Structure 1
Amino acid sequence: MGLLAHAGTAALALAGLFALAVALNVAWQLIAPRDPRRPPLVFHYVPVIGCAVSYGMDPLGFLDECRRKYGPVFTYPLLGRKITATLGPLGSNFVLNGKLAHVNAEEAYTHLTTPVFGTEVVYDVPNHVLMEQKKFVKFGLTTENFRRYVGLIRQEVLDYMSKHVYAEGTKTVSPGTDAFETSSEITILTASATLQGREVRAAMDKSFAQLYHDLDGGFTPLNFVFPKLPLPSYRRRDRAQLKMREFYISILEKRRASTEEPDLDMLTALQNQEYKTGEPLTDKQIAHIMIALLMAGQHTSAATGAWAILRLGENQDLQRRLYEEQLEYHLDKESGKLRPLEYETLSTPLLSAFIKELLRMHPPLHSLMRKIILDCPVPASVGAPSAEPHASESFKKRNEGAEYVIPKGEYVLAAPGYSQVDEGIWGKDAKEFRAGRWLEEGNKVPGEEDEGEEDYGWGKISKGGKSAYLPFGAGRHRCIGEQFANVQLGTIIATLVRENTWTLDQDFPGNDYTTMIVMPAKPRKVTFKRREKVL
């Protein structure tokens, strides 16, 4: 009884302390004077935890609610961090094309990426070194390679469907196929057969797959928020990272010892590269770049591929029209058969429009963060009430002509995924999946005026940060794998449509926000059926 009484007393004491902390936090927000140069603070009850529950369950819904209360610029606490969201195309441009003196991607993400990718690459190096590493990667993303990759990707899709979806070989219908699992496996097989090289592809059926699985376990929101927990999954991640590095280095050593001509893959492109200082790109750095390409590209492409399968399972008419487009553009009238897919003719109008709409509605990353390393002013135009139709009248009165300052040590967040479904930008059907919007005459992405090009060290690209459509980011951190992703996804979709029909087994799934990449929530199953006559 004594122990129970002590436990009860302790529980009451903890509850009392929690209630006191909540009361003090609320009182501070209501009574304490606010610096007018700081963005409005989102009201929250629990200190430290802040808005983590609301944001974690439905980030875009949370951002929308805050925007209507506070305008396009506001600060919210998240697990001990203070995050300032700058919504809208101007807000995205402010973050993604921000000055290096003010905003820093490396400090925002290195604690998540470095244990997975490895040291001396990506966010574990200064930005100018990362730009050089992106230039090295670009040497492997050539038109010549893309031409070769299309056939390799197509064959991997055919083999996978035959072995794993229609497992018995003679089966023509496969119900209950998980769209994400299918997309994930196809994505990693096609990436390993092309960018990664034949040695990686050969090992994918063996121990390498387990290494990938263990490393992937360290790429979650838990790792982002708490990077140094003593958990078994963290230890498995670290062991897998080391073994995967050794695996890539052993490939490099064997290739150097061989007299055979090396394959035209990314490993070949990265060998013998030098930094501007004259220092060589080391085998360790090559291995870590290869791991980064595998892990980062795998997550985003697998999620996008899953959404593609689900959207076409839901929309039978669109699936039929994509098949008819393949016949229109690729049917050889003499033989009566479809010509093999080729790089130059891959991007047919409806297929391209479908992929664009897919990335508009289902961007793998809805938000992007930077750490403030020097007090950073937010231009008045980003949070201007006159340009903010959603904000309340009280916000407009409070903030006319305001220019905010975000202090050093806090974080700033751009949400391109929010802008891509904003009815104020795209119209009443903004949240409707409609591939045809990209085929309409005179259609133009809001804010996509030419902003000029800039070379950050890996080739000229459009700065493009003011666009309302940024599925691959913008500025110096724009995804360098954009072209490969389009080739990979286009070839996979075209091959699936040519060979199969499929239907959705349940209602269209919602978003799963529990992972780093936005994936379809379970259940997400489709029923595949082989086409009776494959031309």
Structure 2
Amino acid sequence: MGLFTTVAGPLGAFTANTSTPVLITAYVASFIVVSIVLNVLKQLLFKNPNEPPIVFHWVPVIGSTISYGMDPYKFFFTNREKYGNVFTFILLGKKTTVCLDTKGNNFILNGKIKDVNAEEIYSPLCTPVFGKDVVYDCPNSKLMEQKRFVKFGLTQDALRSYVRLITQECEDFVKRHKDFKGQKGTFNVPKVMAELTIYTASRSLQGEEVRNKFNSSFADLYHDLDMGFSPINFMLPWVPLPHNRKRDAARNTMIQLYSEIVQKRRSGEAGKTGHDMIWHLMDCKYKDGTQVPDHEIAGIMIALLMAGQHSSSSTISWIMLRLATKPQLVEELLQEQKAVLGADLPEITYDDLSKLPLHAQVVRETLRMHAPIHSILRQVKQPMHVEGTPYVIPTSHSLLSSPGVSAIMPEYFHNPNVWDPHRWDSNLAEKLEAGDEDEEKIDYGWGTVSKGTNSPYLPFGAGRHRCIGEQFAYMQLQTILVAFVREFKIRNVDGSDRIVGTDYSSLFSRPLNPAVVEWERRNKEL
């Protein structure tokens, strides 16, 4: 005993201390190797024929998260070739079943509340941004009422007045913005369009008081809130990371700002001068007779501004970038305006927009190729059988729909990866939407819509969570397009037809930043 004690003296202690990190490293490496081996064996030997095939992956928990996150559409089409329209992949440890094509869209987007749930997926991400008691932080029935409030605030009279306001914002913007000084120059499209769309949306939807607050400090608050949509917040929205602390502070400040506007209006200090959404919500009541509380109005305003801002800024950016590859199409758009409205190009009106089909087709084609949201998720609430397959999706899975996939499938669109607004010349939109006429109609609480999803073109989703801002979005995008075509010629800096890649790093798809194009101011005398 004494001998062993002597041998294990200072030298033995030194050896133990120096070998500990090596042992720990060896244990960790062994654990990783064993985990990978067991994960591979599990996939090869224990396949469940009643569940969709699982995309092969080496590392457990991480699964296919990286390849999916880098390029979702490449991921979807690659695995569609291997497994068909229904397959499962591991997304941050969660089994996520993808259902593609129009049948997949219908299976998920038209799912019943008892079968699928959106709140469980999106509440951790959205509630810290929008606030309590709105959108996904309330029962679905209440959300449907909130959607009804917003939809019925977007009246034809309101939309008519918005065209003038958006046009004025565009004209003021190109006069004062530092990137549009002189007769020609360049601008970073994603950055500039994000700024313009938030000005136009805030002025039209939320009134002059809100628009006037969009100075540098308010823009910083918006940016801090926007960071709350970081993908990591799907799992860790509560972690006190720097961006989450800024998100929470920005949300509280913005709710206070909106609430102060509402209180000022309720007191009679602010006269009613327009059709903005704040005035409308102040008059709304839930079915039980309860008036919409001030903090809920504030939360809805934040949600309305941010949801519309992401999709609109992304889409108008893609429009500009695509037009820069086809300068001749910009001139064609100008000629359409002159032919329909007159060579003197009078101020555009809401009714004029419907007389400019090529402008509408530019927007429609851009939404087809560049859907703002590439993935729509739902939580499975009870086992669901996928029609036409032996598969039953268990409650441990999430479901993922991607309407953007069917919009770029050759089965529905000739040369789907070519941006061609003229593909819509021959009433293609009417043909795609014709199936809806025979579909059952349903009112989820915010207006009657088609229950079917037969069309491969669903840029605004479908079902109970379909975007209610569709009409406003088309109006806003077309109005901005009209204004820019009148003001500028646009082309790529090097004169090529190259287009930038897509940034999939957040919940919303958008052009990679920076993306610079060249502009030249038109001679107003022509």
TM-score by length of 2: 0.93
Alpha-carbon distance between aligned partners in 2 of 1:479 and 1:270, rounded to the nearest angstrom? 18
Cα distance in 1 between the residues matched to 2:466 and 2:29: 47
Q: 1:108 deviation in Å?
A: 1.4
Measured against aligned partners, the alpha-carbon deviations of 1:491-518 in whole angstroms (never above 9, x if no partner) come to: 0001000111111236310111112111
Specify whether residues 206 and 520 from structure 1 end up closer, same or farther in structure 2 by C-alpha distance, changes over 3 A only. closer
The partner residue of 1:411 within 387, 398, 415 is 398
* Structure 2 residue aligned with 1:473: 461
Aligned to 1:363: 371
Change (3 A) 1:441 1:214: closer
For structure 1, which segment, 151-160 or 222-231, has the greater mean C-alpha deviation from structure 2 after superposition?
Answer: 222-231
Find the counterpart in structure 2 of residue 399 from structure 1: none
2:190–2:514 contact (8 Å) kept in structure 1: no
Q: CA deviation at 1:273?
A: 1.4
1:344 maps onto 2:330 in alignment: no
Pairing partner for 1:94 from 102, 107, 119: 107
Alpha-carbon offset, residue 441 of structure 1? 5.2
Q: 3-state SS of the aligned residue for 1:101?
A: coil
| Aligned match of 2:8 | none
Q: Shift in Å at residue 453 of structure 1?
A: 2.1
Secondary structure (helix, strand or coil) at the match of 1:210 reads helix
For residues 446 and 329 of structure 1, the distance between their equivalents in structure 2, rounded to whole angstroms, comes to: 26
Structure 1 residue 166 displacement after superposition? 4.6
1:260, CA displacement in angstroms?
5.0
The equivalences for 1:419-430 within 5 A come to 419-427=406-414, 429-430=415-416
Which one of 286, 298, 301 corresponds to residue 297 of structure 2? Answer: 286
1:518 pairs with 2:509? yes
Please give the alpha-carbon distance, in whole angstroms, between the structure 2 residues aligned to 1:458 and 1:441.
29
Aligned to 1:379: 387
- Report the residue type matching 1:374 in the other structure: Q
Quote how far apart the aligned CAs of 1:4 are. 6.6
Cα displacement string for residues 160-199 of structure 1 (whole angstroms, at most 9, x for unaligned residues)? 112114554xx11122x11101110000000111101111
Tell me the distance in 1 between the aligned counterparts of 2:144 and 2:288. Answer: 14
Is 2:209 the counterpart of 1:222? no
TM-score by length of structure 1 reads 0.91
The one of 85, 88, 91 equivalent to 1:78 is 91
Judged with a 3 Å threshold, the aligned counterparts in structure 2 of structure 1 residues 241 and 74 are, in CA distance, closer, same or farther, namely: same
Counterpart of 1:531, as a letter, is R
**Match 1:313 to one of 324, 338, 353:** 324
CA contact 1:91–1:414 (8 Å) conserved in 2? yes
Q: Which stretch has the larger CA shift, 202-211 or 479-488?
A: 202-211
Per the alignment, residue 486 of structure 2 pairs with 498
- Is 1:207–2:217 an aligned residue pair? yes
Alignment of 1:94-493 (within 5 A): 94-166=107-179, 168=181, 171-175=182-186, 177-258=187-268, 260-263=270-273, 264-331=275-342, 336-347=343-354, 348-380=356-388, 402-427=389-414, 429-440=415-426, 445-446=431-432, 449-450=435-436, 451-493=439-481
The amino acid across from 1:222 in the alignment is: I
What is the distance in 1 between the residues matched to 2:400 and 2:393? 11
Partner residue of 1:10? 24
Q: 1:87 to 1:137 in 2, by over 3 A?
A: same
* Per-residue deviation, residues 182-237 of structure 1 (Å, max 9, x unmatched): 11000000011110111111110153222111111111212224322220110010
Q: Give the deviation of 1:102 after TM superposition.
A: 0.2
Residue matched to 1:30: 44
The CA RMSD measured in Å over matched residues stands at 1.7
Structure 1 residues 447 and 84: CA distance shift in structure 2, 3 A? farther
Q: Give 1:10 deviation, angstroms.
A: 2.7
The number of residue pairs the alignment matches comes to 505
Unmatched segments (≥5 aa) in structure 2: 1-13
CA contact (8 A) 1:151 1:341 kept: yes
Conserved in 2, the CA contact under 8 Å of 1:445 and 1:467? Answer: no
1:349 CA drift (Å): 0.9
Shift of 1:240: 0.6
Deviation sequence 1:376-413 (CA, Å, 0-9, x none): 22111xxxxxxxxxxxxxxxxxxxxx331111132001
Aligned-residue offset at 1:487:
0.7
Q: Does 1:54 find its partner at 2:67? A: yes
Q: Which secondary structure state, in structure 1, belongs to the residue aligned with residue 479 of structure 2?
A: helix
Aligned residue identity for 1:532: N
Q: Structure 1 residues 185 and 449, CA, compared in 2 at 3 Å: closer, same or farther?
A: same
Cα distance in 1 for partners of 2:525, 2:476 equals: 21
User: Residue type matched to 2:362 in 1?
Assistant: F
> Which of these residues, 510, 515, 520, is aligned with residue 529 of structure 1?
520
8 Å CA contact 2:116–2:378 kept in 1: the answer is yes
> What is the identity, as a one-letter code, of the residue corresponding to 1:345?
D
Deviation at 1:304, TM superposition (A): 0.4
Alpha-carbon distance in 1 for matches of 2:493, 2:377: 36
Distance in 1, Cα, partners of 2:50 & 2:303: 39
Secondary structure of 1:417 counterpart = helix
Q: CA separation of 1:206/1:406 partners in 2, compared to 1, >3 Å: closer, same or farther? A: same
Give me the whole-angstrom Cα distance separating, in 1, the residues matched to 2:452 and 2:252.
38
Task: State the one-letter code of the partner of 1:192.
Answer: S
C-alpha displacement of 1:66: 1.0
Structure 1: distance between partners of 2:122 and 2:422: 37
Give the distance between the partners of 1:442 and 1:38, measured in 2 at CA: 37
Indicate conservation of the 8 Å contact 1:314/1:508, yes or no.
Answer: yes
Counterparts in 2 of 1:132 and 1:25: CA distance versus 1, 3 Å: same
Superposed displacement of residue 259, structure 1: 5.3
CA drift of 1:490 comes to 0.4
> Which protein has the larger Cα radius of gyration, Structure 1 or Structure 2?
2
Contact 1:41 / 1:75 at 8 angstroms: preserved in 2? Answer: yes
